[in-house]
Structure 1
Amino acid sequence: MKRHLNTCYRLVWNHITGAFVVASELARARGKRGGVAVALSLAAVTSLPVLAADIVVHPCETVNGGTLVNHDNQFVSGTADGVTVSTGLELGPDSDENTGGQWIKAGGTGRNTTVTANGRQIVQPQEELPVIRLFVMAEGRALTDWR
């Protein structure tokens, strides 16, 4: 009788195909899977605190300095001093206006604010007055919109 006809096989999980495959008992693995390392790194990442993109400055509160980037929002009802706003518009034919920027609410104060290219600052004085929106385009031009 031929030797290779009397071989035993086992089922092994193939993580690439996501299915069980048949393998010979004599076949060797190509190395240890990194399941423990992946689990530890995932646990470390999920245990870090999540940073909020929205910053709220309450009445009678003062924030000094800081930079708004990557669609961050700052809602100011108190005082924001020395803030740099470098987020705001996404330019392009199929882009939409994002929600990032500095929003000065009624009663809030924004002092020494720098609005860089593509930044956005919206000032809302009182309920009955129009909202003033300031957009700085990449070319350095400013566009003001009253609503």
Structure 2
Amino acid sequence: MPTVIINGRSTNLNVPDDMPLLWALRDVAGLTGTKFGCGISMCGACTVHVDGQAVRSCVTPVSAVAGKQVATIESMSADPVGKRVQAAWRQIDVVQCGYCQSGQVMSATALLKKTAKPSDADIDNAMAGNICRCGTYPRIRAAIKIAAGGNGKKEA
């Protein structure tokens, strides 16, 4: 039974070692903010943080996170950077359908924790693989810049 620290709480997960973290979070821990999108690590809807790194939980076995810190979208309102990202998302109405947005916020938060003032290239690299079917990419980029302390406009 792997023990994982989920959103700051030590949690014993009575699941098979090879169960994807996504399903342990949603079905066992009851944290449904992390979404299932593709199941093959291509869309980013299932992104969580493991020891501060953005990872795709749909292909990460629970055994790989035993003893590690896992942060989900549910914890972002208590995280200073996550809180800024969520505020920026709301400020410019990034969300359209919203399905992909928990993964987008998790990737953006991981980026800003690593690179406080990201360039367009940094944003493109960090957000690559996070698919938004509604095409809100320009608003996502602008919100990341606002969360980084900018005005959300393209820099010269």
- What is the TM-score normalised by the length of structure 1? 0.23
Q: Which has the higher contact order (CA 8 A, sep 6+)?
A: 2
Q: Which has the higher strand share?
A: 1
- What is the TM-score normalised by the length of structure 2? 0.23
Higher Rg of the two aligned structures = 1
Q: Which has the higher helix share?
A: 2
